[in-house]
Amino acid sequence: MNTERKLVIEAGRMEKHYWADLWQYRELFYFLAWRDILVRYKQTVIGVLWAVIRPFITMVIFTIIFGKLAKLPSNGAPYPVLVFSAMLPWQFFAASLGDASASLVGNANLISKIYFPRIIIPASTVISGFVDFMISFSMLAALMAWYRFIPDWRIVTLPLFTLLAIAVSMGIGLWFTALNVKYRDFRYIVPFIVQFGLYVSPVGFSSTVIPDKWRLLYSLNPMVGVIDGFRWAILGGSNAIYWPGFLLSVLLVLVILAGSIRYFRSVERTFADII
Amino acid sequence: MIAIKVENLSKKYIISHQKRERYTALRDVLARKAKEIFSSRKSPQITTEDFYALKDVSFEVQCGDRIGIIGRNGAGKSTLLKILSRITEPTKGRVTLNGRVASLLEVGTGFHPELTGRENIFLNGAILGMSKAEIKRKFDEIVAFAETEKFLDTPVKYYSSGMYVRLAFAVAAHLEPEILVVDEVLAVGDAQFQKKCMNKMGSVAQEGRTVLFVSHNIGAIRKLCNKAVLLKNGKLQAQGEVSEVVNRYICDIENTGMETDFAAIIARLPHEPAFKFTGIEVEKHDAGPGMRFIYTKDINIALKYEVMEAKSKLFVVLEILDSEGNVLVESFHNPRDLNPVPKGAYVSRAVLPGGFLLPRVYEVRIYAGIFGERDFFRPPVSFVMETVHDGAADMVYDTRPLQGRFVLPVKWDNVKL
């Protein structure tokens, strides 16, 4: 940052130089994400295990309830693999919402004392949640090996769907972050949405069980597109994507992400005064 | 060359009179909206008022100047700092900064208790604006300065408070900015460490870099700065050589009453595990508002404190300084008593005998410590008091005031021979 010799501070400056500032503070972004990752795996006693146990137990329960008791179709794949391929993006999304919405209030001492583009903080929590995602992913690989389930060529498209998952998590996470600073009781709503969403989204079951006439409406839940995409890429076979719904989801995600960045920026300037 | 140029700087806050919530809760907003729908009556109009924390402030700081920002609470000092460190944006006007700014007002900001000393050095360095390469280059220097080599890989939650502050300051001190902003609260820790901090500030200034120092403590400003800016109610009151501005500040205090809210002064003190002041009482004379005392009468000061750890060589000290910052008197509560002081609440009463302090403005400082180990509060409790005449009787030969620094009760024996 030694190149920045002269700095003019005036009203509206932050607005004008937003993206340039963001680029300039990229190292801080890296360090905050690094901190969040370090702390995440130091604080919990069982460390990495925690990232493994949670989705695993959820997967077992869902397999028993939806697969064995309700006997929902698994479209050719082993039911645990079907559930786990959806748990991947879902866990990532849920953790991002929770962590991001609490992040600004949790870093209040930073915000009230130092300048940097505030978007770095929720963004770095989302990125650090990505480590959990990678751990879960290796679990999925183990699970697939156990069932001797071999994915086809579509697996190479998975990074694209992962990007989509990051976009959803970031988009909704930013909305929640900003709202949580503005309304301090908003955090009570977040766990409710996460819990509720787990059952509304096709995590424990395939979205093919939804009647066709409702599928477009169902796709208004942006996680439907993400989860369907994951299943399409990982499981292949008869897990066909319902394209109109998927495109609707993608469009919605982009709108949410753009809207959230706009909203976040509009309230960002007041954060230091509110917190 | 100009380091900092502030032009017509204003910062406006909008104060709402309708509600005094510390934060907005969604349920309150929803409840209000619901009320508006269901009742024909409109909710009471929210009246707002503009409040200028800073108004049309302009000044320039030359490179290499050590400039003190003084003013009472609410004068706009912290708003100015916030704008300089870009935490809030000004409403109007502009600031031009030539060079990298680093502020020491956030010593230890972003330190994470779970991370080790090594990890925190990197994190804190990045937060303060250092690049990774820069931190790597200065790493050894930082560690040596902080004297924490042995604990580099220990999480900082196991550090003593002294070690913690040392490490935090060490990172900040190695920023090498062109402009250094320092808030007085930085000066915590033991005496030796404070000296280090002050030396660092001094050397920064000597290298031709600019220091901006914010403090209540007139003595510290006088010692460290060559220039000063006085703020009052958001406006620039005076600027120039430090002695002129400080005198102006003292005059100002005299005219508007002095800070006598000891509870607020105590609340601002840094936390100290072994000792805390619980109250300071100064018995008022009937000599006008604020800390004004008739110079011929005794001044009674009661210091209430709590000792949380039994310590020997505990001292409570009271100092009286003149308006130039020279220590006139230093007085200990129980000199030469080296016995341990048991835990508990105490009160020490001091009587400043009347008739010794000439009618002048003085600064009184109160702090405590363990002799030979450390002082508890730096900066100490500090307030300004003034001793005044009680009428024409104090005048020597009609209107001529007494000269000198003290009144010495010299015994005269006048006999007609």
In-domain check, residue B5: no
End residue of a domain, out of B255, B274, B309: B255
Instruction: Please check whether residues B164 and B67 belong to one and the same domain.
Output: yes
Structural domain total, chain B:
2
Instruction: Please check whether residues B343 and B305 belong to one and the same domain.
Output: yes
Nearest CA-CA partner of A55 in A240, A253, A204: A204
Q: What is the pLDDT of residue A169?
A: 93
In a 3-state reduction of DSSP, which class is residue A27? helix
Nearest CA-CA partner of B297 in B383, B360, B356, B385: B356
Shortest CA distance from A32: residue in chain B: B123
| Residues of B whose CB is below 8 A from A118 | none
Q: What is the pLDDT of residue B378?
A: 66
Determine the Cα–Cα distance for residues B150 and A107; give it in Å rounded to an integer.
29
Shortest CA distance from A185: residue in chain B: B25
State the DSSP H helix or E strand holding residue B220, giving kind and residue range, or none if neither. Answer: helix B218-224
In-domain check, residue B338: yes
Determine the Cα–Cα distance for residues B381 and B272; give it in Å rounded to an integer.
14
Q: What is the pLDDT of residue B351?
A: 92
End residue of a domain, out of B220, B255, B290: B255
Cross-chain Cβ contact B85/A113 below 8 Å? yes
Instruction: Please check whether residues B240 and B285 belong to one and the same domain.
Output: no
Asked if residue B222 lies in contact with residue B61, where contact means CB atoms within 8 angstroms, the answer is no
* Positions of chain B with pLDDT lower than 70, given as ranges: 15-24, 39-48, 73, 104-108, 184-198, 216-217, 219, 253-260, 287-290, 324-325, 378-379, 390-402
In-domain check, residue B225: yes
pLDDT tens per residue across all 275 residues of chain A: 344 467 888 877 777 778 888 888 888 888 888 888 888 777 666 667 777 788 888 889 988 988 888 888 877 788 888 888 899 999 999 989 988 888 888 888 788 778 888 899 999 998 888 888 888 888 899 988 998 888 888 888 899 999 999 999 999 999 998 888 878 788 788 888 888 898 888 888 888 888 888 888 888 888 988 998 998 888 876 667 778 888 888 999 999 999 999 998 888 877 766 65
Instruction: Please check whether residues B250 and B266 belong to one and the same domain.
Output: no
Q: In DSSP terms, which residues pair with B322 in a beta bridge?
A: B362
Shortest CA distance from B79: residue in chain A: A273
| Residues of B whose CB is below 8 A from A183 | 23-26, 29
In-domain check, residue B9: no
Residue B317's domain comprises 262-394
Instruction: Please check whether residues B384 and B297 belong to one and the same domain.
Output: yes
The domain locations on chain A are 31-274
Nearest CB to A8 within list B25, B94, B109: B94
Chain B positions touching chain A (beta carbons under 8 Å): 13, 23-27, 29, 82-101, 105-106, 109-110, 112, 114-115, 119, 122-123, 126-129, 131-132, 155
CATH (domain of B232): 3.40.50.300
Determine the Cα–Cα distance for residues B189 and B166; give it in Å rounded to an integer.
8
End residue of a domain, out of B255, B284, B300: B255
**What are the Cα distances from residue A165, in Å, to A197, B47, B76?**
15, 45, 46
Instruction: Please check whether residues B266 and B246 belong to one and the same domain.
Output: no
Instruction: Please check whether residues B76 and B191 belong to one and the same domain.
Output: yes
Instruction: Please check whether residues B244 and B270 belong to one and the same domain.
Output: no
CATH (domain of B309): 2.70.50.60
Nearest CB to A39 within list B99, B115, B122: B115
In-domain check, residue B417: no
Cβ-Cβ contacts under 8 Å between A and B: the total is 115
Instruction: Please check whether residues B172 and B228 belong to one and the same domain.
Output: yes
Contacts by B117-121, CB closer than 8 A, 24 or more apart:
B117/B143, B117/B148, B117/B151, B117/B152, B117/B153, B117/B154, B117/B156, B117/B159, B117/B167, B118/B152, B118/B153, B119/A35, B119/A38, B120/B156, B120/B167, B121/B167, B121/B171
Q: Verify cis geometry, omega within 30 degrees of 0, for the bond prior to A55.
A: no
Instruction: Please check whether residues B280 and B308 belong to one and the same domain.
Output: yes
Q: What is the pLDDT of residue A251?
A: 92
In-domain check, residue B15: no
Nearest CB to A9 within list B25, B86, B129: B86
Instruction: Please check whether residues B340 and B200 belong to one and the same domain.
Output: no
Nearest CB to A31 within list B88, B94, B126: B126
Cut 0.80: pTM above it: no
Asked if residue B85 lies in contact with residue B101, where contact means CB atoms within 8 angstroms, the answer is yes
Cross-chain Cβ contact B127/A9 below 8 Å? no
Q: What is the pLDDT of residue B392?
A: 46
Instruction: Please check whether residues B194 and B250 belong to one and the same domain.
Output: yes
In-domain check, residue B71: yes
B94-123 b/e (C-beta count within 10 Å ≥ 16 → b): bbbbbbbbbbbbbbbbbbbeebbbbbbbbb
In-domain check, residue B45: no
